[in-house]
Homo-oligomer: A and B are copies of this chain.
Amino acid sequence: MAIRVQEAPFDYGAECSAFAAGTEGAGAVVTFCGIVRDNDGTLRGMDIEHYPGMTERALAGIEAEARNRWPLSDALIIHRFGPLVPNDMIMMVATAARHRADAFAAAEFLMDYLKSRAPFWKKEHSADGADWVAAKDEDEAALTRW
């Protein structure tokens, strides 16, 4: 179980590899990676602000809740902050379980909760200026299914 909040890039492939190698007894590994997306070709970059201290607490709480709900043999959350450019990797989660349904459900749960319950805020910079990304109703609604 590990939670990392960092400004530095991470190596998604290397993290997947190490995570899968470290999960003895688990038959199923699921990973998710979020990438800075330039939807209309105008995005220059993004700043991710966070609340040091609370971020780590919130992520630890979300991860503990996931382990409470599903029999996970391991879980990993990495989330970056600071300046990012298109195609940079923002964050990843990984889950390992005996059965694939548990690994999938836990990974989706971690994503849904960290979207709306971990104190990160994104500001996008484009040719037109800079804007804080608004929270989506659908992200809040996604929490009700758990």
Q: Give A contacts to B, CB under 8 Å.
A: 11-18, 20, 23-39, 87, 89, 98, 100-101, 103-104, 107-108, 111, 142
Asked, given contacts A13-B13, A17-B12, whether A35 binds B26 with beta carbons under 8 Å apart, the answer is yes
Known contacts A104-B108, A107-B104: does B20 contact A29 (CB below 8 Å)?
Answer: no
A-B contact pairs, 21 of them (CB 8 A): A12-B20, A13-B14, A13-B16, A13-B18, A16-B16, A16-B17, A16-B31, A23-B35, A25-B38, A26-B35, A27-B37, A28-B33, A30-B30, A30-B31, A30-B32, A30-B107, A39-B98, A100-B108, A100-B111, A104-B104, A104-B111
CB contacts (< 8 Å) of A111 on chain B: these are 100, 104
